[in-house]
Structure 1
């Protein structure tokens, strides 16, 4: 880059890691999100992004105070993580250049970091599938960082608030296991696969995949696990005196001497057909005996009346 030839630019490059500087590579028409950190004292101050034309000239492109732009650059401030993010969309080659992250202090400026944005028509030098990744508490997330140059050192860093980095094959960030694996993809080239295991809610933050001086921010959001458990409740009732223990549809047991009538009414059991048959047998025998006596004694005609439970039986006898 022509501007890198100046002594000032070379000095900035040497101290890039100390000042939060890096390069970002984006394909033409694409988008990217850049993160800028600041110290605790600047939480309530206005933050803004400016594009440098020269060392003494920096044109503001977006600010955190109103009115906010409705163009292709937006900015948001997370005072808890002391990080403000800049999202740039629909990027074109003319958007390439040096950008400064700045804080406004009593009308003056304090630079918190800078980066160089490279917009090219080809494949970016370093990119990820997506800059927003979501995981669940206790689970894991995988981030694939695709890069071009294989000779550079590689890191995975947490950049929200304080900066913590893992280099090599494995490490931990805030007690969460982090593994780095370098492989080659047939279509996308070199891949640095970053895996975070045993996610915790406090792992929600901005991270950065770094290859040399190229860096790509990635935001990881950890959500609480929401498992819908459906349970079936089975209720077993103890058998009662009115229900059989082996048949839920058992008929009630009769506890009195009533008999159901054909229309659902209640009948006197003594008027049942069986009871009448038992009653008529001795009555018939009595009639036979009396008839014999009448034939023998030739008494005057008479009738026998027998009443039982409201039923009247009349038998008339006439001697011959």
Structure 2
């Protein structure tokens, strides 16, 4: 027993078990792809990282490295800011089982951390809808952890800190865990900040499923004049960025002035036309004939009276109306 414990301490020292963190057992369906995060210590920031395949550390074989990051089946990406390198295994098969997150040491033995894939033909024992999620700072986010196994529901950061009860805090973010049914539980995170970005892990029994969350700053939204759409402006934008919307006002102002001038001119023209018509002078003249007609004319008028019903003795009045145009000299 003492020999076994001593062997474990030696293995831990050889593999740098305390300087690299990763998941334990990840369930994945055959034919799918899976991404595995590997967190490393600050002392390995500029070291070459790689994925090693094999059950035993001393006999595993390198599959992809950060200085040769792509192959047909494997890829690797090193985020030095987060001190995490991520390996992706494509088109998983039943023979893809045992792997190591590894760091190359120039003067000494390399260090590594073991993880295992549990490959299924049907639905995985523990999975999420999406491994990669994005959210704005301050907005809440929900993750559904689907499972078909018993065990305690947990939500952890890759560094090892976990929420195991119904609620708790992770790096300042509020975490609630609700068991929706016997087939999945929901993790809700709120109060997220940009520094909350990183890898998290759904945990159920012996199985783990990594999820990467990226938290970005809320965009600044301003309305563009004359357009109901919105424009996103960078928080770091200088004053020159706002000259573009202001330049749009110049053509609009010119068009408004031209329209106002034309309307005013049309109104003045109509007013002058109306004044000209009103200024016309109307003169009435009346001519009245009261002299008695001659005897012959009287006879003709008398005959006309009997014929047309007019009074032969009535006066004859002529009227005329003359309009004088005041606009002429």
TM-score range, shorter chain: 0.5 to 0.7
Structure 2: where are the runs of 5+ without partners?
Answer: 227-262, 288-325
- Of 196, 199, 209, 1:216 maps to 209
The match for 2:169 is: 172
198, 205, 218: which one aligns with 1:205: 198
Relative to structure 1, the CA distance from residue 122 to residue 108 in structure 2 (aligned partners, 3 Å threshold; closer, same or farther) is: farther
In the TM superposition, 1:241-320 aligns within 5 A as: 252=267, 269=279, 272=280, 275=281, 277=283
Matched, 1:118 2:118: yes
1:87 Cα offset (Å): 0.9
The answer to whether the Cα contact below 8 Å between 1:20 and 1:112 also exists between their aligned partners in 2 is: no
Q: Per-residue displacement from partner, 1:282-318 (whole Å, max 9, x unpaired)? A: xx9xxxxxxxxxxxxxxxxxxxxxxxx9989xxxxxx
Distance in 1, Cα, partners of 2:36 & 2:204: 16
Secondary structure of the residue aligned to 2:104 is strand
Task: Choose from 192, 196, 206 the match for 2:185.
Answer: 192
CA 1:310–1:144 in 2, change beyond 3 Å: closer, same or farther?
closer
Residue number in structure 2 paired with 1:145: 145
User: How many residue pairs end up in the alignment?
Assistant: 248
Does structure 1 conserve the Cα–Cα contact (< 8 Å) formed by 2:21 and 2:40? no
* 2:30 aligns with one of 20, 25, 28: 28
Q: 1:244 — aligned with what?
A: none
- The Cα offsets for residues 236-284 of structure 1, whole Å up to 9 and x where unpaired, read as xxxxxxxxxxxx99x8589x9x6558xxxx7994xx3xx3628x89xx9
Note the C-alpha offset of 1:55. Answer: 4.2
Q: Distance in 2 between matches of 1:80 and 1:311?
A: 92
RMSD value, Cα: 4.0
Match of 2:59 in 1: 57
Alpha-carbon contact 2:97-2:117 (below 8 Å) kept: yes
More helix by share: 2
TM-score normalised per structure 2: 0.63
For the 8 Å contact 2:31–2:91, the answer to whether it is kept is: yes
Q: Gaps spanning 5+ residues in structure 1: where? A: 1-6, 234-247, 285-308, 313-320
Alpha-carbon deviation of 1:63?
Answer: 0.4
Q: Distance in 2 between matches of 1:229 and 1:310?
A: 59
- Partner secondary structure for residue 122 of structure 1: coil
Q: Distance in 1 between matches of 2:328 and 2:176?
A: 102
Change (3 A) 1:146 1:226: same
1:135-164 residue CA offsets vs partner (Å, 9 max, x unmatched): 2222211111122332x33321122xx443
CA displacement, residues 203-234 of structure 1 (integer Å, 9 cap, x when unaligned):
2211111223321110112234448565889x
TM-score w.r.t. structure 1 length?
0.64
